[in-house]
Amino acid sequence: MQFAMIGLGRMGANMLRRLCAGGHECVAYDTHEQARAAIAGPGVSTAATPEELIGMLVQPRVLWLMVPAGAVDAALASLTPLLAPGDIIIDGGNSYYRDDIRRAAELRSRQLRHVDVGTSGGVAGFERGYCLMIGGEAEVVEHLKPLFATLAPDSASAPRTPGRREASPGGAEQGFLHCGPHGAGHFVKMVHNGIEYGIMGAFAEGFNILRHADAGIHHDSAHADAETAPLEHPEFYQYTLDLPEIAELWRRGSVVSSWLLDLAAAALLRDPALDAYAGRVADSGEGRWTLNAAIDEAVPAPILSAALFARFGSRGQADYADKLLSAMRQGFGGHLEQGAAPPKANT
């Protein structure tokens, strides 16, 4: 099947390569010439402008957008005037599902089709395949199945769940699923990423507890003071634990084994102290949107909310609050921050 990939970043470029390797006719476009040059090769054509891109595609055209959520409307504004009725636009980025509903209606007024595809797989997706969560009209999704089947991992990537029918409906066992109407794909991907925040946060906190199990590392009695509660029973925290080895152990037979644990194990093997990282963890929006949905639905999600707020704190967003805590302690009890200069008096 012929298609165009618009946006040749970490995800888009690898997805295009996988589709091209699967026998599809690939046309690539990116606003950056360097990105276009990097993807050019056998079976891949590149276009320097939207007009050139549209001219290279046969109708009904299939355009797959892999651009940041904030850039989708601008991309559509440049492309839709060039398209013809029946052309299909796939949004494979991490767009907000409510934007999908709006965009699908706007495109429908031009007789254009819209499909939202939540895409999980990261930079390893080229080899492992991508998990695809799809929203849109059934007949359009059916038309695009050859692309989805090539990108997805296939049924051999995981054993069949006991009790499932041999021929289950949909493509879930192949790694892609039509989840529902417009927005359903990105809604499912949104919650997927919210869960991802929680799992990653749990691993991070657990390994941090293991790291601090040696009383001699962070509970030096020479630095004890009246403002800091001492470790009550240091004799119970005398373990110098090998975190890379524990991560490797848990990868085998443990109920917490997962790809995220695999990634943690690889990171700890390369750099056990994680000195290469500052610990500022970004969030691209899906965790926030997941909590918005939980509030709208009156569904409790304390674990996912804690994981999101921890990311905010990692970027210094708690610094001012922490300073106010110290100020209040100093005010009511004369408590001074340990290692900090006394507060200056106003003059």
Compute the distance between CA of residue 278 and CA of residue 98 in angstroms, rounded to an integer.
34
In Å, how far are 21, 56, 83, 113 from 60, measured between CA atoms?
Answer: 22, 12, 9, 10
- CA 191-197-74 angle, to 5 degrees, is 60
Active-site residue 196, yes or no? yes
Q: Which of 25, 137, 196, 248 is catalytic?
A: 196
**145 catalytically annotated:** no
Within 10 Å of residue 48's Cβ, how many Cβ atoms? 12
The C-alpha atoms of residue 134 and residue 147 are separated, in whole angstroms, by 12
Annotated catalytic residue: which of 189, 248, 286, 323?
189
The answer to whether the CB of 190 falls within 8 A of the CB of 293 is yes
8 A C-beta contact, residue 99 and residue 80: no
Query: Alpha helices, DSSP H only, in 166-285?
Result: 184-211, 215-218, 243-250, 259-270
The angle subtended at Cα 92 by Cα 53 and Cα 8, nearest 5°, is 50
Amino acid at 30: D
- Sheet containing strand 131-135, edge to edge, reads 44-47, 25-29, 2-6, 62-65, 88-91, 113-120, 131-135, 176-180
Q: How far apart are CA 40 and CA 297, in angstroms?
A: 46
- Spatial distance between the Cα atoms of 27 and 47, rounded to a whole number of angstroms: 7
Report how far apart, in Å, the C-alpha atoms of 3 and of each of 27, 55, 100, 189, 223 are: 6, 12, 20, 23, 64
Show which residues are catalytic: 189, 196
